[in-house]
Amino acid sequence: MVGRLAPGFLGTGASRWSRVVALVLVMLVVPGARSSAAHPLHTTLTELTYDPSSRTVSILLRVFADDFAAAVQSRGPALAADVMPPDSAMLRYVSERLTLTVGGVGRATMRWCGSRRDGAALFLCLRATIPTSLAGARLGNTLLSEKFADQVNIVQANVDGRRRTLLFTPRDGAKALQ
């Protein structure tokens, strides 16, 4: 269980979303901050980085393994609780719900580059090659939104040396990446 945040942790002028994002980040980053049996928050954290020299978008996605496996498995044969779905099923699910659309090109095709489980967390790696720049690109993230009405998906994007954080809830559509 996470203790109370220190008074003034985010300052008195911090918005509600700032507080939610900070709490979600603490829950995602601090090992043991949340019990694997209880899910007080339904969150994902995505780090998106663009390398203009290779025109490659790299995505590292952190999800809670049990929530993610349940979402992927609901589309196929049931597996034991501690067994993760095959890579192909995980890629298919993520590709449908984490979308990158580049103006004039359309939707980017994601390639699988692996996964790693660390306790309750599952890290997924994906890449996409973009034939043009990311100018005008839009990102959508509805991961796990079909399972949880309170789902919050955070994307930290690093594009052209600028860092931007996008926050997605089940009601949100795609958002400008830059």
For 108, the 3-state DSSP assignment is: coil
Under the banding of pLDDT at 50, 70 and 90, the label for residue 73 is confident
Q: What SS3 state is found at 96?
A: helix
Q: Are strands 121-129 and 111-118 parallel, antiparallel or unpaired?
A: antiparallel
- 3-class secondary structure, 156: strand
Give yes or no for a contact between 46 and 58, defined as CB atoms under 8 angstroms apart: no
Show the domain range for 94.
36-176
* Torsion sign over Cα 88, 100, 59, 17: negative
DSSP helix/strand/coil, 69? helix
CA-to-CA distance for 145 and 171, rounded, in angstroms?
A: 9
In a domain, residue 164? The reply is: yes
| pLDDT level of residue 75 (50, 70, 90 thresholds) | low
pLDDT in tens, 105-144: 889 999 999 999 999 999 999 999 998 888 889 999 999 9
The domain total for the chain is 1
Residue 137 in domain: yes
pLDDT of residue 128: 96
* pLDDT surpasses 50 at 7: no
Residue at 4 is within a domain: no
Rounded CA separation 39/80 (Å)? 20
- The C-alpha atoms of residue 110 and residue 72 are separated, in whole angstroms, by 17
Residue 25 counted as domain residue = no
- pLDDT for residue 83 is more than 60: yes
Residue 12 lies in a domain: no
Question: At 71, which helix (H) or strand (E)?
Answer: helix 65-73
Do the domain assignments include residue 93?
A: yes
Whether this prediction's pTM lies above 0.95 is answered by no
The pLDDT assigned to 5 comes to 34
Q: Is residue 6 part of a domain?
A: no
Output the six-digit token pair for 132.
């043009």
Q: Which amino acid is at 41?
A: L
